[in-house]
Amino acid sequence: MEIGVLLPHFGEHASVESLVEGSRRLEQMGYDSVWVRDHILWSPHGMEGSNLTFLEPLLTLAAISAVTTRIQLGMAVLIPIRWPLKVAQNLATLSVLSGGRVIGGYGLGNNPAEFGAAGLRREDREDIFTETIEIMRAVWSSDDVTFQGKVFNFEKVTIEPKPVAPIPLLYGGTTQASIRRALSGMDGWLPGRIPLSTLDVRLDYLRQRSEEAGKRLSVGVVPIVKVHPDRDIARAGIDVAALAESSAGSNFWVAPPSGSFSTIEDLEGLLIAGTPEDCIAEIDKFAQRGLDRVVLDLRLDFGRYLEQLELLADAGLTRHFA
């Protein structure tokens, strides 16, 4: 199982040092991938503070590609606010610059203002998403591509250079509908933060639909993680109620055995907080379920971003799942 890390490219702790030099150190520690989020208009919510800094994700990954040689560059996830030919060119260029280390993640997005700021309409987002995926795959594999869609149209377009390695495309979202979208045209499913009670139900649904479709998807999750040598300190100050409502798909989550998301234990899978050894034991639950990757989201304590990752690496996290 691969272990990735969500980069602190948003909020008060976003810096060249934490992103560029930090990613070089992550590669040395043995982490497999670094990941970015995506917004044009970003409004931080409770656990993200109030700082409006949000570094553009693809430019951030390009900078990191120049100082690393092995670590993969992932998107968790892009939203359909870019013209498809442009994002196809961007990802193909990133593939060339990085030697083929790109993982493309995509979701539907939700904020109407962001679509408007990009010159698009939120009500078209499903068509924009579907056509973007079709267009990217077409121009990455063929020349003189003509496309006639509901939103986008063009004739005889060739984009060079093409990706130097296949770019896997993952779909983000925690609902059953997100699994169906992933199976219809993507290579993987990356639901982000999701309680274990919900993940188990979704994995059963995914297995059923995968058998019907004759297709296997890679699967990953992005849990919130907080690490400290002292377990009580790691768990102090965590707002369980806020985390229980922190995802757009939380209304569709399956309740834990207790019946509600009231304690840290109820958030099992979504939240991992404790000593390095505690955290590795919790991450192992994903490996036991056959997941392909876990991306660690340390935003609750980005001020200790590298320190937490060093604690996990020193405790054997990257070796354990190698």
CATH number of the domain enclosing 314: 3.20.20.30
Tokens representing 72 are 């993969």
* CA pseudo-torsion sign 256, 263, 294, 128: positive
The number of distinct structural domains making up the chain is 1
Q: Residue 172: exposed, middle, or buried by beta-carbon count in 10 A (0-12, 13-18, 19+)?
A: buried
What lies within 8 Å, CB to CB, of 160 at 6+ separation is none
Instruction: Answer yes or no: is 251 within a domain.
Output: yes
Closest CA to 169 of 130, 198, 209: 130
- pTM of the predicted model, to two decimals? 0.97
Q: Residue 287: exposed, middle, or buried by beta-carbon count in 10 A (0-12, 13-18, 19+)?
A: middle
Chain position carrying tokens 């207790």: 258
CA 305 from chain centre, in angstroms, equals: 17
Instruction: Answer yes or no: is 131 within a domain.
Output: no
The three-class DSSP label of residue 322 is: coil
pLDDT for 45 equals 82
Instruction: Answer yes or no: is 162 within a domain.
Output: no
Which run of H or E residues covers position 241? Answer: helix 240-244
pLDDT for 322 equals 82
Closest CA to 57 of 87, 28, 32, 101: 87
Closest CA to 78 of 51, 56, 46: 56
pLDDT for 249 equals 85
Instruction: Answer yes or no: is 299 within a domain.
Output: yes
Instruction: Answer yes or no: is 121 within a domain.
Output: no
Instruction: Answer yes or no: is 128 within a domain.
Output: no
DSSP 253: P
Residue spans of beta strands (DSSP E) within the chain: 2-6, 33-36, 72-75, 102-106, 145-148, 153-157, 169-172, 188-190, 218-221, 224-227, 271-274, 293-296
pLDDT for 247 equals 87
Instruction: Answer yes or no: is 189 within a domain.
Output: yes
pLDDT for 46 equals 78
pLDDT for 110 equals 87
Low-confidence ranges of the chain (pLDDT < 50): none
Closest CA to 106 of 124, 81, 83, 86: 81
Range of the domain at 65: 2-76+168-320
Burial code of 59-97, b = ≥16 C-beta within 10 A, e = fewer?
Answer: ebbbbbbeebeebbbbbbbbbbbbbbbebbbbbbbbbbb
Instruction: Answer yes or no: is 151 within a domain.
Output: no
